[in-house]
Homo-oligomer: A and B are copies of this chain.
Amino acid sequence: MSDTERQVHATARRAKEAAAELAPLGREAKDAALHAVADALVAEAASIVEANAEDVQRARRAGEPGAMVDRLTLTEERVAAIAGAVREVAELPDPVGEVVRGSVLPNGLELTQIRVPMGVIGIIYEGRPNVTADAAVLCLKSGNAALLRGSSSAYSSNTRIVEVIRGALEKTDVPVDAVQLVPGAGRDSAQALMRARGLVDVLIPRGGGSLIQAVVRDSTVPVIETGEGNCHVYVDEHADLDKALAIALNAKTQRCSVCNAAETTLVHRAVADRFLPRFLADLADLGVTVHGDDAVLAHDDRVVPATEADWGTEYLSMDIAVKVVDSLDEAVAHIREYSTSHTEAIVTDSQSAARRFVSRVDSAAVMVNASTRFTDGGEFGFGAEIGISTQKLHARGPMGLREMTSTKYVVTGDGHVR
């Protein structure tokens, strides 16, 4: 075992002990701690911005692109917004203790299944230092200890934010070790976290596809896969084409860099001649590059020929793949082959088409006559989300506080034996 591994596992053991203290705490104690954290973030905003300046300077010197530097940058206003988000989490209902089901068994045993914290949640994430506070607070509210492993690019900011949070927790009932930064920001510290089975209950990677795939491949700790979204909009032959146009454009362009943005539009051949000219013209006006199949190319000479790779690409940019299909079933088959199972939408006025699409598309969210952009914890009314699960085990779709819990059966008898 390397030094880093030893250090990371020692941190995880402290987290496990803290989790045992944190789990039985009631909502009042947890919310008081969250408000203390928010107060401390506001009070220490200047020192957080100062620590952040080191990360920003390093990124600038390394010639990082402006958008990346912007995502990294904290100002006192941004820190205040983070503190505000912490207070919003405090307002959310506590998922812990909820009775999921309950009954009296024929032999008189009382059976209840209740929601309990997971224990220790490891979060492996990339550049944005606001994730540090967000993730810590969602873990605390759901009764879990947080082990945070941010990127080296934000190490100075993350270190200071965690110091401030831990300082605030000292005066509360929540144990300080319920929030810890994993020592080191190298690849070995992430690896050590992935191998801490028995100490860490679940790992949630937040970031790009390569980060997520690396965690899925290497972790012996159970992982919840999040966020990759090769989302599709299918314009059915029975679509209202005005709605279809609005939805297809919104899904691509309202915010193209996020996982619930659409990457491919599939258009039924029966409406292609009426739909495509308007759609392609609007996309061009909005600055979107279209990668199209032959049928799409025939409509507009600004269209770039699509390659096989385009159908599987999550562009996260002002690019879109467009394909004409002969049937709903061909659209479903295309989606089953290329989708990351995040979100797919159908635009149709046909009940039977909607029913067939919904039952045959195997994705976390299926939209009927609505933009893919609605797959979001906030939009779904969960108040906050730790990520969007694209796997089928445990949680699927936006993960709110409830999805950060497990359950436990409590069985009460009066001397019952078999």
Interface residues of A (CB under 8 A from B): 20, 23-24, 103, 105-106, 109, 111, 113, 116, 118-119, 197, 201-202, 216-217, 220, 222-224, 240, 242-243, 246-247, 249-251, 254, 336, 354, 358-360, 362-371, 373-375, 379-381, 391-394, 396-398, 406-418
Distance to closest chain B CB from A264 (angstroms): 18
Cross-chain contact A366 with B417 (CB below 8 angstroms): no
Residues in B with CB closer than 8 Å to A417 are: 246-247, 249-251, 254, 370-371, 373
Cross-chain contact B416 with A23 (CB below 8 angstroms): no
Given A364-B409, A417-B373, A418-B250, also A393-B392 (CB < 8 A): no
Residues in B with CB closer than 8 Å to A220 are: 216-217
Bound form: Cα–Cα A390–B176 in Å: 28
Distance to closest chain B CB from A354 (angstroms): 8
| 22 A-B contact pairs sorted by A residue (CB < 8 Å) | A105-B381, A109-B370, A222-B222, A254-B417, A358-B410, A363-B408, A365-B410, A366-B408, A366-B409, A366-B410, A367-B413, A368-B411, A368-B412, A368-B413, A369-B413, A369-B416, A370-B412, A370-B413, A373-B417, A374-B416, A374-B418, A396-B407
Contact of A415 among B106, B243, B375 (CB under 8 A): B243
Cross-chain contact A375 with B409 (CB below 8 angstroms): yes
Bound form: Cα–Cα A197–B393 in Å: 13
In the complex, which residue of chain B has the Cβ closest to the Cβ of A106? B381
Bound form: Cα–Cα A23–B360 in Å: 8
Distance to closest chain B CB from A71 (angstroms): 21
Bound form: Cα–Cα A370–B394 in Å: 29
Cross-chain contact A393 with B360 (CB below 8 angstroms): no
Residues in B with CB closer than 8 Å to A396 are: 406-409
Bound form: Cα–Cα A318–B359 in Å: 51
Residues in B with CB closer than 8 Å to A391 are: 222
Distance to closest chain B CB from A182 (angstroms): 20
Contact of A380 among B111, B249, B393, B414 (CB under 8 A): B111
Given A20-B360, A369-B415, A417-B246, also A393-B410 (CB < 8 A): no
Contact of A374 among B240, B246, B354, B411 (CB under 8 A): B411
Distance to closest chain B CB from A70 (angstroms): 22
Distance to closest chain B CB from A385 (angstroms): 13
Contact of A406 among B217, B254, B374, B393 (CB under 8 A): B393
Given A222-B222, A369-B414, A415-B369, also A409-B392 (CB < 8 A): no
Bound form: Cα–Cα A201–B392 in Å: 7
Bound form: Cα–Cα A365–B222 in Å: 20
In the complex, which residue of chain B has the Cβ closest to the Cβ of A336? B20
Bound form: Cα–Cα A367–B246 in Å: 56
Cross-chain contact B411 with A370 (CB below 8 angstroms): yes
Residues in B with CB closer than 8 Å to A369 are: 412-416
Cross-chain contact A394 with B394 (CB below 8 angstroms): yes
Bound form: Cα–Cα A412–B369 in Å: 6
Distance to closest chain B CB from A394 (angstroms): 4
Given A105-B379, A105-B380, also A202-B393 (CB < 8 A): yes
Sample of 8 more A-B contacts, CB < 8 Å, known A240-B415, A367-B413, A368-B410: A23-B362, A201-B392, A202-B393, A367-B411, A374-B418, A396-B406, A397-B407, A397-B408
